[in-house]
Structure 1
Amino acid sequence: MKLLSILFIGLITIQLTSAQGFEVSPVVLEYKVEPSNAETKNIMVTNHGNKRQAFSMGLRDFERDSSGAKQYMEAGSSKNSLSRWITVSPSYIEINPNESKDIGITVTVPHRDYSTKWAILTIKAVQVRTSFEADKTVRTGILITPTIAVNIYQSPSSSSNYKAQLSDFKEVTKEGDEYRTMKVIINNTGGKKIDCRLNLIIADVETAKERKMSPKKFYTLPGERRVVTLKLPNDLEPGVYSVAAVLDYGHRTALEGIQTIIEVK
């Protein structure tokens, strides 16, 4: 597995949904293509600048760590790579000021492959420079390259392997913290991308009075181990409380829950 660094010597890449005079829409594509089939979706690139601008398209793989941060990889190097199934047309365009062009993103799924795959498409503003400008850039060592990333996911509709589990629910508050904090691990043990709503429910053991905090919303990919922290409110009265983390990820699945006991003095 070969990781790609976001920061190269002499090259800074900025990943945004709108960057220095251009934008891309949408920035998330979700495919539900069945094996042995293909589907094309379009993204629109708009040049808001005052001169004609060139753009190049490229593909990358990525995986995510336990915090949800992406680690970028060469296209085709991840076991979960969607890059191998994607065709981008065109892969290079030039757009006049205040005009837009469509880019076709085609996903072709091999025979009998029902797995979930993902990748990133990058749309980069190409800097066309004179010899003098190029030499100046070499001397300064820095070239800003605005780049917009489009997340692409593929999972066939016929696959319904949604499954997640909670574990290691405990308090992780440190001395000096403003809030008492709980930690829980979400393991995506199924084969689908899961959109999660994680609720924190606090119940007074003596009175059974219950409080439900605002849910945290995030997603997990197959095989991911996601660590999520949840803050307890500061206005709990002294007493003993049952604290539960409850995961709702829809698709007619049962709620996943885990609980522990804490004391407020």
Structure 2
Amino acid sequence: MRVFLSIFCFLFPFLSVFSQTGISVSPPRLYYEADPGQSGVQKVMVSNVSTSHTMDLAVSLGDWKYDDKGENLMFPADSLPTSCASWVTIKKEDTYFSLQPGQNKEIEVSITTPNTLTDERPVHTAMLYVTQMNPVNDVDSQGANIKVSVRSGIKLFHRTNESKNKKLEIENLLFNKETKLIELYFKNKGNIWADGIIYPELFNTQNGKKVKIDHIIFYSMPGDNREMTIKLPENTTPGKYTATILIDYGDDNTIEMAELSFTYE
């Protein structure tokens, strides 16, 4: 029995699947700053990293957004109010092409902002897909014959030249006694995408010991609400604790911080 397996990857500039097929797409994100009526051009390098198979590739567009957990949600092109998919132009010869093993191709991705923006949204986004159209034969880890096809996505970000205002605000921090998880709620109240790192720290107020917790990388868009759960280490002992949350989102002058005191039983 043959199984068709389609593997989708976004955010990662390199994708190699099984032993016989793979593509490299770089960079994984394109950023444009263009006022109404202006255009911007960026370039994407697509490479066939297979050693034995020619890849027939098609370029298409879609929409995306983050959910409250920070996961990616995919939609058809021009289906979201924040979409800029209809502003994107790709040369005809770059919409469908073939790459021999080890061959590269550079494609131009242009965005032309409408003369009059009809909304007040500070940023717009789209997804550029590079999809393999000729699945190849391969074998999975159990030895079954399968068909493998790959697809890579490049996120497109657009904003005008308006002054940037990065602003994240923590709205709630609590400890859920049932799940034994720290719950963090914050919102992007700026006019620009804000990516950064959350540094949780835990301090046992009874014995004075610090408990190490891994940092968390996050991404957000203007207006996004974010809900994050922070798991305590397995060896956390019962006691009284103070949790400190630091959010570093690339603003040299601002770090968002919150503290929470709770009892762990």
Q: For this structure pair, what is the TM-score category when the shorter chain's length is used for normalisation?
A: 0.7 to 0.9
* Residue correspondence of structure 1 range 1-265 to structure 2 within 5 A: 13-16=6-9, 17-19=14-16, 20-49=21-50, 50-89=52-91, 90-111=94-115, 113=117, 115-127=122-134, 144-174=148-178, 180-205=180-205, 213-233=213-233, 239-264=239-264
Moved more, 213-222 or 152-161: 152-161
Moved more, 115-124 or 24-33: 24-33
CA contact (8 A) 2:66 2:220 kept: no
* Partners of 2:234 and 2:184 in 1: CA distance: 20
Aligned to 1:21, the other structure's residue is in SS state strand
* Partners of 1:239 and 1:95 in 2: CA distance: 60
TM-score (ref. length: structure 1)? 0.77
Q: CA deviation digits over 1:21-72, x for unaligned, max 9?
A: 3322222222233443212111111123324332110000012212222221
* Partners of 2:64 and 2:201 in 1: CA distance: 34
* Partners of 1:41 and 1:30 in 2: CA distance: 8
* Partners of 1:128 and 1:242 in 2: CA distance: 53
Which stretches in structure 2 are left out of the alignment for 5+ residues?
A: 137-145
Gap change, CA 1:33 and 1:210, over 3 Å in 2? farther
Q: CA deviation digits over 1:160-187, x for unaligned, max 9?
A: 1222221231112546xxxx42011121
Gap change, CA 1:214 and 1:127, over 3 Å in 2? closer
Moved more, 233-242 or 29-38: 233-242
Q: CA deviation digits over 1:192-234, x for unaligned, max 9?
A: 1101221223345468776674421111112212211113345
Q: How many pairs are equivalent?
A: 240
Gap change, CA 1:252 and 1:54, over 3 Å in 2? same
CA contact (8 A) 1:199 1:212 kept: no
CA contact (8 A) 1:86 1:106 kept: yes
Which stretches in structure 1 are left out of the alignment for 5+ residues?
A: 1-9, 130-141
CA contact (8 A) 1:238 1:264 kept: yes
TM-score (ref. length: structure 2)? 0.77
* Partners of 1:60 and 1:160 in 2: CA distance: 26
* Partners of 2:54 and 2:239 in 1: CA distance: 67
Gap change, CA 1:197 and 1:53, over 3 Å in 2? closer
